[in-house]
Structure 1
C-alpha cells in the first residue's frame, strides 16, 4: 500500500449497487450455494467455564471441531464493550485519518490499516477492511501504528490484552491436560511470557450481493489459538465433515479457534479449524480476533510424549517465523 490512498471496501460499499466481479467467488466457494441448510444443523460447542468438567469438554471440542465458544470466561463485559467501542470509533474516522496508519509491506510495516493481506489463488478480493497491531509483549509493541486521536484506544486494548493473557494460560492448561500432558506443557512449548498477542479488527460493510462473496476466504489460523469477539451480525462459518456450518452468535461468548501451532504440537490430535466469514446485505459485521503466537525464533513441533511408534510425528518441527513464511507464500511445509 505504500501509504498511498487506496479504495477501501468501506468506501466502495457506499457507492455501488452491484458486486464488482473481482469480489464474486467461484461457484464452489459462494456461501449462498455452499452453506449447509439441512434439517439438523449441528452447533459448535458452547462451554460454560463455571461448570465442573469444562476442561474435558474443551479438549473434546478441540478434537472434533477445532472451535468452541466459551461463556463465564472471566473477561469483564465492560472490557469487551470498550474494546468494541474504540474499534468502531477507528472505522468511523475520516479516510485520510485511517490512511495515516496504512500498512506498508514493501517497507516491512505489516501492522496497521488495510483492505487485504493478500489475494487468494484465484486473484479474488474479500469484502473486508481491517486494522491490526501487536499488543504484547511490550518489547514488540509499536505504538506509532496505534491511533493517537482516539480517546481510550490504548487503555482499552491494553486492559483487554491482560484478560486475554490470563484466559490463554487457562485455555493452554486445559488443552494440555486433555492430551494427557502436564498442565504447563503448552505454555512452555509456545514461549511462556514471550507469547505474542496481535489484536485485529475486521470490518465487513453491508454488501449488495452477500451470497456471492466472502468477508474472509477459507483458511486455518497460523497462530496457536485465536480468541474472537464478534458483533451481533452472523457471519462466522466452520468446515466440518465436508460441510460449511454457521457458528451461531451467542451473546457474551468468546469464540476460540484452534490454530496450526496447537495442531502441530498435539501431533494432529487437535484440529486447526478451517473457517470463513460471510457478510450481510443490510448490516455491518465486525469482529475482534486476538491471535496468540509463539515468538518467531521459537521452534514448534509435536510434543515428544505424543510421538510414538503407533503415532509417528506428522509434522516437521520448525521456527515459527519459517512456518509463517511458508504459509504466507504458499510454500511446501
Structure 2
C-alpha cells in the first residue's frame, strides 16, 4: 500500500525512481490542443443515420485510431456518478483499500500502482483499480465494498458501456464488410474496467502517468474528468485531447488493426500529469478471450491485399505486448509478414 503514489502526501520533488530518461520525458514544451479530433454525435439514440455513422467511424478509425463520442445514450448522471465513485474509492483510508492491493496480475480485482512496479526500471505516476465486469454475477462479489455505492454504480455503468461498445463493434463490422456476428460470435469477449488515478505531480516534465502505448484489446471507451492529460501521437507530433463534457474517448485497439488487416489504426497515446489537480478516469476495455485465434479477417485478404500479420493466440500476444511496450518496441513488429 505504501507504494501507491497517492499514499505519498506532500511530495516536494519527483522521486528518482519516477524520473524518466531524458529521451522519454514529456519535457516542458506546450503540447497543442488537437482541434481536428473527430467528434461523432449519436443524437441520443442508437441506429440513427446508420450508414453515415458507419462512414464517420471507419474514417476516424483509419485516420486517427480514435474519436470522441457524444449524445451516446449513457446518461449524464451515470457518467458523472461513476467518476465520483472512482474518486471516492481512491480517497478511502489505506485500511479500506489494503485487501485489494496486489502486485499479482492474476488477482481478479486488483489495486496496484504504475504498470509493473516490481520489475520496471522507472515507475509511472498512476494508481489503478482493475477488475472484470461480465457477467456481473460472476464478478460483483470481488469488487470493493466501499464506497457503499461502488458495486451498484459501477455495475449499472459497466452494463451500459458494454452495450455501447458492442454496438460500435457492430458498426465497424458492417463498415469492414465482415459477416454478421463476427465480433459477437467468433470472439468470446472479456470486459475489464480500469479506474485510473493521477495525483498532482511536483514536476510533470520529468515523469508520465502512462508511457506511449497502443491499447492491446479490441476497443476502449474512456470516461474522463474535464482535466487535460490524455495525449495522442499524430504524424509524429503529440497532441492534447480536450475533454468534452459527457463524451467517451473511443480507442481502436491493436486487435482491430490486425483483424482489419491494417485498414483501421490503433493510435499511440500517453498520459501526462499536472501540478495542481488530481485526474481520474474510468476505462472499459473489450478484449478477446485469452484463447481466441486472431488473424486478419479472411474476407479482407486477397492476392491484391495479402495478410499483413500472421495468426496467433491472444494470450500469447499479451505476454509479448507487455514486454515490448515496457521496452519501447513496436508491439506488432514481430507479427508483421513480408510484403
TM-score normalised by the chain length of structure 2: 0.88
Secondary structure, counterpart of 1:244 in structure 2: strand
Answer whether contact 1:172 1:184 (CA < 8 A) is retained.
Answer: no
Q: Structure 1 residues 92 and 197 mapped into 2: Cα distance closer, same or farther (>3 Å)?
A: same
Residue 174 of structure 1 and its aligned partner are, at CA, apart by 1.4
Of residues 7, 22, 27, the one that matches 2:22 is 27
Does the alignment pair 1:128 with 2:126? yes
Mean alpha-carbon deviation: is it higher for 117-126 or for 176-185?
Answer: 117-126
Moved over 6 A (4+): none
* 1:8 aligned partner: 4
* 1:180 aligned partner: 177
* 2:328 aligned partner: none
* 1:284 aligned partner: 278
CA distance in 1, matches of 2:15, 2:162: 41
Residue 27 of structure 1 and its aligned partner are, at CA, apart by 2.7
Does the alignment pair 1:196 with 2:190? yes
Residue 181 of structure 1 and its aligned partner are, at CA, apart by 2.8
**5+ residue gaps in structure 2?**
325-330
Does the alignment pair 1:46 with 2:42? no
Residue 56 of structure 1 and its aligned partner are, at CA, apart by 0.9
Q: Structure 1 residues 138 and 121 mapped into 2: Cα distance closer, same or farther (>3 Å)?
A: closer
Answer whether contact 1:172 1:183 (CA < 8 A) is retained.
Answer: no
* 2:216 aligned partner: 222
Size of the aligned set, in residue pairs, is 321
TM-score normalised by the chain length of structure 1: 0.90
Residue 41 of structure 1 and its aligned partner are, at CA, apart by 4.6
Answer whether contact 2:230 2:269 (CA < 8 A) is retained.
Answer: yes
CA distance in 2, matches of 1:242, 1:96: 44
Secondary structure, counterpart of 1:291 in structure 2: strand
Does the alignment pair 1:79 with 2:78? yes
Secondary structure, counterpart of 1:32 in structure 2: coil
* 1:141 aligned partner: 139
CA distance in 1, matches of 2:36, 2:273: 20
Secondary structure, counterpart of 1:238 in structure 2: strand
* 1:113 aligned partner: 111
Answer whether contact 2:227 2:243 (CA < 8 A) is retained.
Answer: yes
CA distance in 2, matches of 1:111, 1:260: 24
Residue 66 of structure 1 and its aligned partner are, at CA, apart by 0.5
Secondary structure, counterpart of 2:95 in structure 1: helix
Residue 274 of structure 1 and its aligned partner are, at CA, apart by 0.7
CA distance in 2, matches of 1:251, 1:150: 25
Task: Please give the per-residue CA displacement for 1:200-224, whole angstroms capped at 9, x wherever unaligned.
Answer: 1100001111122110111111110
Task: Please give the per-residue CA displacement for 1:267-311, whole angstroms capped at 9, x wherever unaligned.
Answer: 111111111001111000111011111111111211001111122
Does the alignment pair 1:256 with 2:253? no
Residue 265 of structure 1 and its aligned partner are, at CA, apart by 0.7
* 1:56 aligned partner: 55
Residue 35 of structure 1 and its aligned partner are, at CA, apart by 5.6
Residue 169 of structure 1 and its aligned partner are, at CA, apart by 1.8
Residue 142 of structure 1 and its aligned partner are, at CA, apart by 6.2
* 2:327 aligned partner: none
CA distance in 2, matches of 1:82, 1:41: 28
CA distance in 1, matches of 2:263, 2:207: 32
Task: Please give the per-residue CA displacement for 1:174-230, whole angstroms capped at 9, x wherever unaligned.
Answer: 111221334533333332xxx211111100001111122110111111110110000
**5+ residue gaps in structure 1?**
none
CA distance in 2, matches of 1:293, 1:197: 6
Answer whether contact 2:103 2:112 (CA < 8 A) is retained.
Answer: no
CA distance in 1, matches of 2:168, 2:75: 17
Does the alignment pair 1:275 with 2:272? no
